[in-house]
């Protein structure tokens, strides 16, 4: 059983990223976000907050996010995915939206709900599903790395390792 209100490592003041999802059913996807954050040594808190089922909790979280020491919020939701947009409407922190792949419309519904924000309230939107979940963590890392030289170095190392893996797999094809 996953403890969704558990903070991972460190004190509250050290936790810069919140990973929010609309339902526990989003966890198999959003787990890729937390795995990537773990790999980069970024502390985070993770919580289920449904925009539709828990609107009061949503506002409470978003309105207090900056004062609680957060710098970036990653929010994953599926279907009529209002969670990232409603969080973005209630804080000026950067919000990254992850469209969850749905059974009915393959996540196109989630993508359009998240990406088509009206002018004035941006949500940085990543790809549907697994790639987006992982990229959300990398994007959050890039934002934090603007003021964190050590994290910038870890991010550069990640890219170098990725390039080396791609080169090696290409070479293997020629053998």
Q: Which is nearer to ligand RP5, 91 or 110 (CB)?
A: 110
Q: Which residues face 48 on adjacent strands?
A: 21
Q: Which is nearer to ligand RP5, 34 or 151 (CB)?
A: 34
Q: How far apart are the first and last CA of the chain?
A: 45
Q: Compute the half-sphere exposure of residue 15: CA atoms within 13 Å on the CB side of its CA.
A: 18
* 43 is an interface residue for ligand RP5 by CB under 6 A: no
Of 38, 40, 44, which Cα lies nearest the Cα of 4?
44
* 106 is an interface residue for ligand RP5 by CB under 6 A: no
Least separation, in Å, of the C-beta of 78 and ligand RP5?
A: 3
Query: Applying CB under 6 A, which of residues 23, 33, 36, 125 lies at the interface with ligand RP5?
Result: 23
**Helix H or strand E segment including 114:** helix 108-115
* 26 is an interface residue for ligand RP5 by CB under 6 A: yes
Query: Applying CB under 6 A, which of residues 16, 22, 101, 141 lies at the interface with ligand RP5?
Result: 22
């Amino acid at each position: 059983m996953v403890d969704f209100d558990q903070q991972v490592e460190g004190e509250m003041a050290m936790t810069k990223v919140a990973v929010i999802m609309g339902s526990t059913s989003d966890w198999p996807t959003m787990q890729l976000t937390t795995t990537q954050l773990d790999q980069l040594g970024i502390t985070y808190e993770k919580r289920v907050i449904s925009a539709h089922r828990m609107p009061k909790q949503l506002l409470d979280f978003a309105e207090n996010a900056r004062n609680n020491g957060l710098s970036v919020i990653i929010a994953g939701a599926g279907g009529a995915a209002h969670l990232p947009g409603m969080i973005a409407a209630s804080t000026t922190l950067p919000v990254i939206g992850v469209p969850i792949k749905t059974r009915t419309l393959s996540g196109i519904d989630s993508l359009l709900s998240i990406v088509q924000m009206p002018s004035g309230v941006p949500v940085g939107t990543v790809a549907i599903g697994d790639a987006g979940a992982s990229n959300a963590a990398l994007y959050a890392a890039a934002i934090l790395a603007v003021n964190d030289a050590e994290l910038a170095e870890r991010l550069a190392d990640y890219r170098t390792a990725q390039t080396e893996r791609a080169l090696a797999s290409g070479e293997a094809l020629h053998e």
